[in-house]
């Protein structure tokens, strides 16, 4: 038989009390744990929010309306992205919220083709006598180290510039910022070409859509050109019946530099790669039989140093993008041949094969254009380029009281700094101080006496700005 101990009332009460105590303890412990977890999550959240969050810019394409059509300011939406493996700030991502196209073309202004110019350059090599360009290096692996005031001042000091040169450039960029239309363009005529020229001036100062002061200006100008290319299947113009070859070449050149910058800095503008490819391919597909390019891209033979120089510089910029283009070397080779066809015994480059194409009929104002293209594609030791340098050294003048052709010196300043040595020192002494002295208080440059082929104040200002940027130009082929 088994024995069972009957619990007393006292033991039963003691067990019940223990159970109540255990329940209360469990509840308190659970409450404390919950509070602790909440506190930890709050601290982690505060730490995350204190980190820099990259901006994703979403843009809407400009509307179909004309000149001063109102568009909304770039909308900025913050998203969380991890820091890159190598450290530093996460990349800024620029994406499109729409693919709508814009802008009904407006009439292009017809100007004398030997002075409608704007430019700068980049570099290429070829197995047939091409040596990669004169002292044209590669884009720095760490571009951020180049895009700062200290670096620019250092380059100014070693290439013949002064702090005043950079101050004048910043002042000019602020003037251009104030005169930009709401759709991202500049000027009332030849808007695509002038916008491309202004964009080159910003890029020459290493300004991108990421820049604090000028980022929105650069972004809207780039989007304006991209939208034009989307609307016209890669062609960049306002009026297909006008001299749109200038506009297309200049804008293509600017977009190529934009694309190169986007790779170097790690941002993306939607459709920029597509429009850049299509615009360059249009140039490659529409060279005339002697290697030049005609006003409306007609197929007839025609020598034109001014238009050909723009297209060769656009192709130089295309090389720097790293994009693959068929027949690029052959097209460049033929283009350079059409340029040297216009060179005379003195070393000067004429407007065409039979004429000087200058304002007075005897001075070869396009010599700098011919020399720069040869330097970029064949190197500064090329014999034809050297002969052109000799002509520039003997015949260049820069006098605001008599005559200054911004277009002529836009090319010449680049060609001469690429040459370097005594030739550059002499030329730099001639043009630097007069150009600085004659800048207007608002940052623009006036129309000097004797220059009858300017496209206006914005055009003058872009060219003068690019001249003062030769001391430190960011991309290869645009300076020493």
Q: pLDDT (tens digit, 9 = 90+) per residue, 291-335?
A: 999 988 988 899 999 999 999 999 999 999 999 999 999 999 999
pLDDT of residue 28: 82
Domains (range + CATH), the chain: 55-468 (1.50.10.20)
Q: Are 71 and 63 in contact (CB under 8 A)?
A: yes
User: 191-204 and 244-265 helices cross at what angle (nearest 10)?
Assistant: 30
Which residue intervals of 341-419 are DSSP H helices?
367-378, 383-395, 406-419
| Whether residue 45 has pLDDT greater than 80 | no
**Number of neighbours of residue 295 by Cβ within 10 angstroms:** 15
Percentage of the chain modeled with pLDDT above 70: 71
Among 459, 373, 461, 380, residue whose Cα is nearest residue 417: 380
Q: Are 169 and 89 in contact (CB under 8 A)?
A: no
Which DSSP category does 243 fall into?
A: S
3-state secondary structure of 345: coil
* Mean of pLDDT values over 76-92: 35
3-state secondary structure of 37: helix
pLDDT of residue 12: 62
Among 225, 201, 205, 237, residue whose Cα is nearest residue 120: 201
Using alpha carbons only, what angle is made at residue 190 by residues 189 and 191, rounded to the nearest 5 degrees? 85
Say if strands 75-78 and 55-59 run parallel, antiparallel, or are unpaired.
antiparallel
**C-alpha pair distances (Å), 23 with each of 10, 13, 50, 317:** 20, 16, 41, 77
pLDDT of residue 145: 60
- Distance separating alpha carbons of residues 372 and 391, to the nearest angstrom: 13
Q: Are 201 and 176 in contact (CB under 8 A)?
A: yes
The mean-pLDDT minimum among 147-156, 264-273, 392-401 falls in: 147-156
Could you list the beta-strand ranges (E) of 306-452.
none
Instruction: List pLDDT tens digits, range 411-425.
Output: 999 999 999 999 999
pLDDT of residue 30: 77
Query: Which residues lie across from 97 on neighbouring strands?
Result: none
pTM for this prediction: 0.74
pLDDT of residue 46: 62
- Distance separating alpha carbons of residues 238 and 227, to the nearest angstrom: 12
């Amino acid at each position: 038989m088994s024995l069972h101990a009957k619990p007393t009332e006292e033991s039963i009460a003691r067990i019940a009390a223990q159970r109540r105590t255990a329940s209360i303890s469990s509840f308190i412990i659970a409450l404390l744990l919950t509070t602790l977890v909440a506190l930890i999550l709050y601290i982690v959240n505060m730490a995350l929010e204190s980190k820099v969050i990259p901006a994703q810019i979403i843009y809407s394409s400009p509307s179909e309306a004309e000149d001063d059509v109102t568009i909304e300011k770039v909308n900025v939406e913050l998203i969380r992205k991890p820091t890159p493996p190598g450290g530093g700030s996460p990349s800024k991502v620029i994406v499109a919220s729409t693919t709508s196209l814009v802008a009904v073309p407006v009439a292009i202004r017809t100007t004398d083709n030997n002075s409608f110019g704007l430019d700068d350059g980049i570099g290429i090599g070829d197995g047939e006598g091409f040596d990669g360009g004169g002292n044209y290096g590669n884009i720095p692996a760490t571009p951020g180290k180049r895009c700062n005031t200290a670096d620019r001042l250092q380059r100014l000091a070693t290439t013949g510039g002064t702090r005043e040169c950079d101050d004048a450039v910043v002042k000019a960029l602020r003037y251009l910022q104030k005169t930009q239309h709401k759709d991202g363009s500049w000027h009332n005529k030849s808007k695509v070409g002038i916008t491309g020229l202004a964009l080159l001036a910003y890029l020459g100062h290493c300004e991108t859509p990421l820049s604090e002061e000028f980022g929105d200006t650069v972004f809207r100008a780039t989007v304006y050109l991209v939208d034009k290319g989307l609307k016209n299947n890669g062609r960049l113009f306002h009026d297909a019946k006008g001299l749109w070859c200038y506009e297309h070449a200049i804008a293509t050149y600017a977009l190529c530099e934009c694309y190169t910058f986007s790779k170097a800095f790690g941002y993306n503008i939607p459709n920029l790669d597509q429009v850049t490819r299509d615009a360059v391919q249009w140039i490659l597909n529409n060279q005339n039989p002697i290697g030049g390019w005609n006003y409306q891209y007609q197929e007839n033979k025609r020598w034109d140093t001014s238009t050909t120089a723009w297209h060769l510089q656009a192709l130089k910029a295309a090389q720097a993008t790293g994009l693959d283009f068929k027949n690029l070397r052959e097209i460049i080779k033929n283009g350079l041949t059409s340029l040297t066809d216009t060179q005379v015994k003195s070393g000067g480059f004429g407007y065409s094969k039979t004429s000087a194409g200058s304002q007075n009929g005897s001075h070869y104002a396009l010599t700098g254009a011919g020399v720069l293209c040869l330097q970029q594609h064949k190197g500064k030791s090329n014999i034809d380029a050297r002969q052109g340098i000799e002509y520039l050294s003997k015949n260049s003048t820069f006098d605001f009281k008599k005559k200054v052709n911004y277009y002529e010196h836009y090319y010449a300043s680049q060609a001469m700094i690429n040459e370097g040595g005594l030739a550059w020192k002499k030329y730099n002494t001639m043009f630097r101080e007069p150009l600085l002295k004659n800048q207007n208080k608002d940052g623009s440059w006036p129309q000097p006496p004797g220059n009858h082929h300017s496209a206006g104040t914005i055009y003058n200002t872009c060219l003068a700005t690019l001249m003062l940027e030769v001391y430190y130009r960011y991309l290869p082929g645009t300076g020493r």
